[in-house]
Chain A
């Protein structure tokens, strides 16, 4: 997958890196889906190291947002570049994947890593 998974008390942090496209989107989504625990409500995409997101990558974010929503939670982006922010807005995801507010949760505790 294009990154690794960390956990926060009520959610997971998906640290994306490099490209998120059709080559790794299915694997990334599978890892995210497997990472949901009974108390997981939120998913945070850490975009600080991501260089490229295609529509397949956006699809992963949408599916993860759906999974969060189904659990009464939410989806967020963190440290996204202006280009990624513009992509999210143009794709209509501005209200689906909102900015992560660090004060809402303590610092991520690494527990698992994939890829």
Chain B
């Protein structure tokens, strides 16, 4: 870029923000698509221990050259459940230290690496050489976009230190340590690179504009700026990604603030300062001393992270409680099953599966009369149900590799088949809500209401059946099971009759959306029937209730 132009820099800054946010969304979506069993196993192996997570965090920080970028990449892994939060926290802490590595050992051109990732990822995503790898290529492209966004932000703000007003402000820093701290904080919020700020501080110090004390305060202020910047960039995130942003903010703020307070006490209390100690013991040049101060500051972030290892998850959950979708996707039972006997573990898997069944009626909320949630929320819940289903299937798969007795094997197989049916039901319900919403929009646009009553009846009726399914599977009460069996019965005749009515009342080619919704409704009810629990054999059949040969119960007559 030639001379500093406010408009072009502002445009570059805006483009940087846009690339960053779109890239961030894209990385998360791609990771979600990739979060299959194999990939999760691979990630799990790579981060199997805290030491491995620390190593990869360090490498990530070194390669990304940005603590912010590293924390957002890790948050993508955590929110797509590829990485447990605890491992994610370790990676983020060590990524801070990783950011100091490359400026010391090599002149690594991150721009070339970003361009390469963007080009390769983008071209592979377009040419689709392997369908299974498409999310990976798309993810690489989006990662490149995210990094390019940060580069744009840095480039747009790069000329600021050369501007007269900045140099004037920097000269004022010499008058006050607090002002230096504040300048570093604000500069980091805008420039998005602590390394760049360290270089600016070194330049100002070398040129005699600042002494090393005040230059160091800029570096400490930048530490707090990292925290605020991550919180700002992650302000749209909720739950787990927000927790990681808080974590990054807290450890960076603590490190920057600790050193700044230490420096202020030393300066005004006449005590020995870390800078003087470094220079005296290592005989360093002032500019190298600043680089070491930066390294010490980043190391303190790791120390702060480890100082409260066992408390972070509790504190972060208080600061940013997981969203309902994130809570739903997190196993609550099977995670406690390590070392348990197979029978008890299968019981835990059953409880975990019940959590999905309990959540299923809510998937219709966006089209229900009483529903208070948006379609996007319901979609997120459906994804979470699938994610939890994947966890259950993975756990069952692992259990199947151990020695099981006949009864446990049969139970495992039944649970696995049941999980597949649940997954099918979730997919049908997602399609059903989309079909109902589309049909309602179409009728509204056409100013007609032919299918309003039918759509309402199907939605409310299906919700009732799903609620009854959840209750019957949870309580296992014979009355509930019998009632479910009644209301989830075959609707073939009714649907045929309604179809005929639609055809007769619609113009040629009309009513197809309504018919599609009806087909999905019918299939959903059929799947509920498959999921209906059998009547417990030990339960005495209540009066008027007969247990069929298949074990499912029917009320002989609900009304006399």
Contacts and interface: CB of A to CB of B under 8 A. Distances in A.
Interface residues of B, number: 35
A51 interface: no
Interface in A68-93: 69-70, 72-76, 83, 86-87, 89-93
Contacts of B454: 86, 90
Interface string A56-76: 101100100110011011111
Contacts of A83: 453
Where chain A touches its partner, the secondary structure class is: mixed
Interface in A23-54: 52-54
A98 interface: yes
Interface residues of A, number: 31
Interface of B: 368-370, 453-454, 456-461, 463-465, 467-468, 479-480, 483, 486-489, 491, 494, 498, 525, 542-544, 555, 557-560
Contacts of B457: 86-87, 89-91
Contacts of A52: 369
A95 to B, nearest CB: 6
A69 B485 CA distance: 15
Contacts, number: 100
A95 B456 CA distance: 20
A55 B460 contact: yes
A69 B558 contact: yes
Contacts of B491: 90, 92
A87 B460 contact: yes
Interface of A: 21-22, 52-56, 58-59, 62, 65-66, 69-70, 72-76, 83, 86-87, 89-93, 95-98
Contacts of B369: 21, 52, 54-55
A88 B161 CA distance: 73
29 contacts: A21-B370, A22-B370, A54-B369, A55-B467, A58-B460, A59-B464, A59-B467, A62-B487, A66-B479, A74-B558, A74-B559, A86-B453, A87-B457, A89-B494, A90-B458, A90-B491, A90-B494, A91-B457, A91-B460, A91-B461, A91-B464, A92-B465, A92-B489, A92-B491, A95-B557, A95-B558, A95-B559, A96-B486, A97-B559
Given A62-B464, A62-B483, A62-B487, A96 B368 contact: no
Contacts of B560: 73-74
Contacts of A69: 479, 542, 544, 555, 558
